[in-house]
Structure 1
Amino acid sequence: MRLILTSDTHLPKRARDLPAPLWSAIDAADVVVHAGDWVDEAALDAFEARSKRLIACYGNNDGAGLRSRLPEIAYADLDGVRIAVVHETGQAQGREQRCAARFPDVEVLVFGHSHIPWDTIASTGLRLLNPGSPTDRRRQPHATFMTADVAGGRLTAVELHRLPQR
């Protein structure tokens, strides 16, 4: 099962559309995971139209319309891999311990908000992944998203993808 992980798309505030390589990856994926900050409901509509399966939450920049359509925290079981998706996890210091305590029954936590790619494992085994942002790199050298595979009840092949500069 091929996964696309993205967050902080901020459409159309930061960009009119997603970069073509991300749309291509979404079209080919089995599951798309979005960790919030869509900004506009049209972005959610586009993801829903192009994704085979979408697992998503809202972010701090998402208004009432998006909040009525999406949960604050999304949960899913992907062939035995239990995941949670949330926008904000707080400051980087102590993140692994806080998230392990907050999400004791999941194996993978996908989050956003900072626009900073993140891939760590808490002492409990919880894998924390932030795909960065495909449209607003802020102080990062590249706009990014992630891919991963689920096979045999395990998350494998997690990869950060750098997008071309706009």
Structure 2
Amino acid sequence: MPHGRAAGRGRATYRDRVPTRLLLLSDTHVPARARALPDQVWRAVDAADVVVHAGDWVSVGLLDQIEGCAAWLVGVAGNNDGPELHARLPEVARATFEGLLVAVVHETGGKDGRERRADAAYPGVDLLVFGHSHIPWDTVSPGGMRLLNPGSPTDRRRQPVGTYLTATVDDGVLRDVELVPVER
């Protein structure tokens, strides 16, 4: 089963399980904003078929840890990631889960006009996962693309708690999208 940085380069397909369980993370900022990921997040990594990380890892060690635990990792580099992370991770990753075309990017620009920009930048994509703001986001573009930002599990910028997202893909359909608060 593919995993690690190779899954984030080019296009990949994952069809080993139905439904496919997704964990969406971003802006973990370890160790800058937290010494480590909370245990709750590690349990979610273990439970997921695919971990999607939308950048701002900050630590190469965290990438190595998640690569070692995740069944499959699709990740990108963020604006706070250094040269070593940028060397290992793309700016944009694409993957297909049971026919659902997913793109992952760290930053999409300001919230005004985000959906139209996403339609123009990622034609044919069903789901765009992004981060940067640390603020959860769930909308649908005029072209029908779902845009999801999981927030941050470690740096709850202007939010009551840290967050991440879980979802399933069943026969090419994104289902059961849930914003999960990180317990303190």
Same fold by TM-score greater than 0.5: yes
Secondary structure at the counterpart of residue 64 of structure 2: helix
Amino acid of the structure 2 residue aligned with 1:26: V
1:26-77 deviations in whole A, cap 9, x for unaligned?
0011000000000010010011001000000000000100000000000001
Say which is worse superposed, 126-135 or 13-22, in terms of deviation: 13-22
Counterpart Cα distance in 1 of 2:108 and 2:115: 9
Paired residue for 1:81, among 58, 76, 100?
Answer: 100
Within-5 A mapping of 1:84-123: 84-123=103-142
Within-5 A mapping of 1:9-24: 9-24=28-43
Aligned: 1:157 with 2:170: no
Amino acid of the structure 2 residue aligned with 1:20: D
Match of 1:133 in 2: 152
Match of 1:61 in 2: 80
Number of positions where the alignment pairs a residue of Structure 1 with one of Structure 2: 165
Paired residue for 1:148, among 167, 177, 180?
Answer: 167
Indicate the percent of aligned positions where both proteins have the same amino acid. 58
Secondary structure at the counterpart of residue 156 of structure 1: strand
Structure 2 gap segments, 5+ residues each: 1-19
Structure 1 gap segments, 5+ residues each: none
What's the offset of the Cα at 1:105? Answer: 1.8
What's the offset of the Cα at 1:136? Answer: 0.2
TM normalised by structure 2 equals 0.89
Tell me how large the CA RMSD over aligned residues is: 0.6
Counterpart Cα distance in 1 of 2:37 and 2:136: 17
1:63-105 deviations in whole A, cap 9, x for unaligned?
1000000000000011100000000000001100111110012
What's the offset of the Cα at 1:162? Answer: 0.4
Secondary structure at the counterpart of residue 155 of structure 2: coil
TM normalised by structure 1 equals 0.98
Counterpart Cα distance in 2 of 1:84 and 1:100: 12
